Amino acid sequence: MPLSHISLRAGKPDSYRQAICDSLYRALRDALDVPEDDQFMIITEHEGANFRYGAAFGIARSDDLVFIQITVFNTRTSDQKKALFRQIAELLGQSPGIRPEDVFVTLTESAKENWSVGHGLAQFA
C-alpha cells in the first residue's frame, strides 16, 4: 500500500508524467511485491524558482531531476529497498528517459496501524 509523492519541474507533457507513474508502479510491483491495482501516486509540478537542488554527494543533477517520496509499511527488507532504488532508476531511464543522476528517492516506513485507506477505519491494525 505505498503512497508515492513525485515532484518535478513544471513543463513536462502528460505522457512524460504518465511514464513516470507507470515505471514507478512497475518497480514497486517487482521489488516490493505490491499488489495489482495498488496505485496511489501524486505528482506535483514546481516552477524553477520553487525547485532547488545541489550537487551533494558529487552527483551532477539537471533540471530533469525528479524527487520521489514513498511511504510504505515497515515490513520490507534492506535487500528489497536496494532493489527498489535500482529498479526505479533503471525503469525511469527506459521510460521516460530520466538519467540515473536525476532520480532522487526517499523511503519512509510506517507501522501498519498508522494507515487508514478509507471509511475512517484502521484496516491494517
Interacting residues of 108 by C-beta distance below 8 A, sequence separation 6+? 69, 70, 71, 72
Over range 85-100, report the average pLDDT: 98
Homologous superfamily assigned to 3-114: Macrophage Migration Inhibitory Factor (3.30.429.10)
Q: For 100-119, write each residue's pLDDT tens digit.
A: 999 999 999 999 999 999 99
- Which three three-digit cell numbers place residue 30? 517487482
Q: For 24-82, write each residue's pLDDT tens digit.
A: 999 999 999 999 999 999 999 999 999 999 999 999 999 999 999 999 999 999 999 99
The residues that are catalytic are 2
- The gap between the terminal CA atoms of the chain, to the nearest Å, is 14
For the chain, the average pLDDT equals: 96
Domain ranges of the chain: 3-114
Give the chain's length: 125
Q: For 68-84, write each residue's pLDDT tens digit.
A: 999 999 999 999 999 99
Longest alpha-carbon distance in the chain:
46
pTM of the model: 0.94
pLDDT, position 120: 94
Residue 1's pLDDT band (boundaries 50, 70, 90)? confident
pLDDT, position 99: 98
Report the candidate in 107, 97, 43 with the shortest Cα–Cα distance to residue 76.
107
pLDDT, position 51: 96
